[in-house]
Amino acid sequence: MARKATSRKQPARGAATRQQQVERFQRRLLLLLLAVIAVIGLATWAGGQRSQAERWLGDWLNMPGATSAASGRRIGIVVGHKDFDSGAICEDGLSEGATVAKIAERVADRLRRLGAEVDLLSEYDDRLNGYQADALVSIHADSCIDRSGYKAARSDTSVIPDVEDRLLGCLMQSYSESTGLDFDSNSITVDMTEYHAFKRVASQTPAAIIEVGFLGGDAGIIVRQPDLPARGIANGIVCFLEEQTQ
């Protein structure tokens, strides 16, 4: 009896042990699974954090001394065509006015974060008459054709040509760096060099106009990645302010 009972119990104990082993294995598997999920979650979170930090750091490194150069300075940004018309309109409904407004707002945000006082101005803003600022940049875009390139110009009757050439130089360098677009010197027109706002602002206000690219050939950058042209323009203005303070 005792032997029988023992022999009967042994397989039972064996089964119980196997059952425990299976349960232990399942628990470990579950823990492992939870750990994997936690690691994936952490990596995703850290990845998100890192890309934010990298972006911030990238901007900061791009503009050494930027905070002090822009701090307390007054900058005018003309939002091309604002409160007047929509500028060029492409077949798919894309408009120049909407495109440059997004860029201009981002330029203003960037400069304000660096401590600048930024006026976002309409195309024919009353404030442009005798406007005094450390810099004024008017933002426009080119037509819907399948062509690529940006351009920038100052008044051809400037009384401060050297200063405005420095503004242009900074804008061009920073804009090329940020967007990768080429400067298109062949298509600068009198619409740019005799731009109406150049005649209205105070003669000592350094002013420039930039055509950020073509709504057709450059849509991938100026429409779909407005932060790139915005960074180029903001960095260009900061570069100019830095040179002015040296």
Choice from 73, 110, 140, 151 touching Zn ion (CB under 5 A): 140
Amino acid at 158: S
236 sits near Zn ion (criterion: CB under 5 A): no
Residue nearest to Zn ion (CB): 140
CA 151 to chain centre: 19
Q: Which is nearer to Zn ion, 67 or 148 (CB)?
A: 148
| Least Å from the CB of residue 50 to Zn ion | 39
Q: Which is nearer to Zn ion, 59 or 184 (CB)?
A: 184
DSSP state, 133? Answer: -
| Least Å from the CB of residue 156 to Zn ion | 18
**Cα(138)–Cα(176) distance, integer angstroms:** 17
Q: Which is nearer to Zn ion, 66 or 195 (CB)?
A: 195
80 sits near Zn ion (criterion: CB under 5 A): yes
206 sits near Zn ion (criterion: CB under 5 A): no
**Site residue total, Zn ion (CB under 5 A):** 3
Q: Which is nearer to Zn ion, 76 or 80 (CB)?
A: 80
DSSP state, 118? Answer: E
Question: With CB under 5 A as the contact rule, which of the stretches 43-51, 76-84, 156-164, 225-233 interacts with Zn ion?
Answer: 76-84
Q: Which is nearer to Zn ion, 80 or 229 (CB)?
A: 80
| Least Å from the CB of residue 103 to Zn ion | 12
Choice from 66, 69, 82, 87 touching Zn ion (CB under 5 A): 87
Of 22, 18, 23, 21, the C-alpha closest to 10 is: 18
Of 66, 71, 176, 60, the C-alpha closest to 134 is: 71
| Least Å from the CB of residue 97 to Zn ion | 8
Compute the 3-state secondary structure of the chain and give helix, strand, coil in percent, each to the nearest 5: 55, 15, 30
Question: With CB under 5 A as the contact rule, which of the stretches 24-32, 66-74, 124-132, 135-143 interacts with Zn ion?
Answer: 135-143
Strands of 151-153's sheet, edge to edge? 117-121, 74-79, 135-142, 207-214, 151-153
Question: With CB under 5 A as the contact rule, which of the stretches 60-68, 72-80, 156-164, 199-207 interacts with Zn ion?
Answer: 72-80
User: Residues interacting with Zn ion, by CB under 5 A?
Assistant: 80, 87, 140
